[in-house]
Structure 1
């Protein structure tokens, strides 16, 4: 794990959270540009002569699409179609890939994939020598170009300048993820300091919620079909590729419309953060789903992603006694083929 306290003066709160004393940090990300250590994320590298063929048999992504700058979303499933991890795939070299995912899932995903890697010329390693930083704000793309001399990529795409890599994620403000060698963190951090405020990585996680992006943690393993977190609506499943572990179940759920739970976004009338797995209940106390993740927004209220039944609840819902107000997702919940993201149709 990276010591963010020593590198940039962040205060660690737990294994996946760091903080700064910047006031009203979520609000700063709306009014200005901010920088943050992405302490909750890590990089699992897959390399070797058979790296692409190996990943093709395990990931929901079509690996051939991870080229020309496109960095697709993917997930890894059990034979029963339940997700073990979700990630973003970056092709760094011809037969070298990075999986960007929650740090708490790296060891378990590596162990799972290791059961299949023995049949391929492929190696796996956790890249603890790499650091991930977030840059958020309407001016973020301009700052990246002016301060780091890197032209910003399109959403879900990837660019590099030497050993520095940049990806762009969706959200209510422009979001750029930088992956740099640990020894270069101070160079990047100092270059962005005059025009940005330091904030904790909870702000990045809040923008994931507002973008409808459900990134799995260890508590979510072997629980959900990919469609239950809208992964096919974000281009995270290729229905045009061949077999991968869990593919039959995932495809059947899609083509037969058998998904009984879906990810939704909501706000709670209160400031108490519920833990993942906390029940979403009706007035009679019956559970209709559970909280996936939660963060405080710029106004001190809780925003959540929750996986709930597709059946209409008999009355208003709540979480830990806090009234549940559904919010609109920023995308349509329908199949989005990653091929259309990698090779978009030109506008007329």
Structure 2
């Protein structure tokens, strides 16, 4: 029996960007190279403040030859999607683009499990994309181990049963996600405070340093080339009563990090790299905390 699960993600929205300037419009704003987005390749990136701090992250797909789709956070009562839509409209100026919130037309589905990509006839190359029924299927552009993302018109979930996928839970998806060390937008990334490279965006294909200027590029590039990454968002395992997000992780009398999310007995935490070691005893609100470093994470070398 194949191990393929799917979960409808209710906290996702879809914005369509169409018109002749759609690529150049987004190219000057987004951290990744929008020119690489095709019917065969999707992308992950972020919109930053002018000061280089995180505002929104999202996936970009090609819907057709005239339209791109941005899959982003929905937020409480749609607030996050509305904020992103407003921001894009503000930057639109004279660009020949049309913006439309088409969230009501699409379901966003996570497909995960060890057989997820083969069930969808996808390779293990992040971002690989093709048509799926009347929608889109794509290997998660961040990390193939995350599985795939599927955008389908509403009321098309029967297509998931057709590939042999079993209905899973959103929580099972998030437990898998945090174990891999991958953030879920503003759940773990502080709005107007988080820095991309502290949260894995370079390794997760979310920023292109060769594409040219984008909003907030200066701080992002300076962080990279001056080696200024001192913290990283990393998976944690929790032994004991799980602390709430926002709890401080202590190494003795020194602050070692902040818990950003908890799912099951794991979660994600922003960790001060100089405060952790193999023999560190980390505690948060009485619970024991163990930090893990996924294979895809590249940490700065420790000085001798």
TM range (shorter): 0.7 to 0.9
Q: CA deviation at 1:119?
A: 2.8
Give the Cα separation in 2 of the matches to 1:173 and 1:252. 30
Q: What is the deviation of 1:280?
A: 2.0
Contact 2:200 2:297 in 1 (8 A): no
The answer as to whether partners of 1:66 and 1:89 remain within 8 angstroms in 2 is yes
Report what 1:18 is aligned to: none
Question: CA 1:310–1:206 in 2, change beyond 3 Å: closer, same or farther?
Answer: same
Q: Provide, for residues 144-179 of structure 1, a one-character-per-residue CA deviation record: whole Å limited to 9, x for no partner.
A: 3xxxxxx32433221114522111237796722221
The residue aligned with 2:115 is 139
Listed as ranges, the matches of 1:176-215 within 5 Å are 176-185=148-157, 187-191=158-162, 195-215=164-184
Among 118, 122, 139, which residue is 2:97 paired with? 122
Report the counterpart of residue 44 of structure 1 in structure 2.
Answer: 15
User: Which of 244, 248, 263 is matched with 1:274 structurally?
Assistant: 244
Map residues 1-348 of structure 1 onto 2, 5 A cutoff: 32-67=3-38, 69-104=40-75, 105-128=80-103, 129-144=105-120, 151-153=121-123, 154-161=125-132, 163-169=134-140, 175-185=147-157, 187-191=158-162, 195-217=164-186, 220-270=190-240, 272=242, 274-275=244-245, 277-284=246-253, 286-296=254-264, 302-313=265-276, 315-333=280-298
- Post-superposition Cα deviations, 1:30-68, rounded to whole Å, max 9, x if no partner, equal x93322212222222222221111100100111111125
Conserved? CA contact 1:233–1:334, under 8 Å = no
Q: Quote how far apart the aligned CAs of 1:252 are.
A: 1.0
Q: Residues 20 and 96 of structure 2 are in contact (CA less than 8 Å); yes or no, is this contact kept in structure 1?
A: yes
Q: Secondary structure at the match of 1:239?
A: coil
Query: How many corresponding residue pairs?
Result: 290
Q: Aligned equivalents of 1:57 and 1:246: distance in 2?
A: 10
Deviation at 1:287, TM superposition (A): 3.1
SS of residue in 2 equivalent to 1:183: coil
TM-score (norm 1): 0.75
Q: Give me the CA root mean square deviation.
A: 2.6
TM-score relative to the length of structure 2: 0.85
Higher alpha-carbon deviation: 207-216 or 48-57: 207-216
Of 205-214 and 167-176, more deviation after overlay is shown by 167-176
Instruction: Work out the CA distance in 1 between the residues paired with 2:146 and 2:196.
Output: 26
Residue in structure 2 matched with residue 12 of structure 1 by the alignment: none
How much does 1:291 deviate?
Answer: 1.9
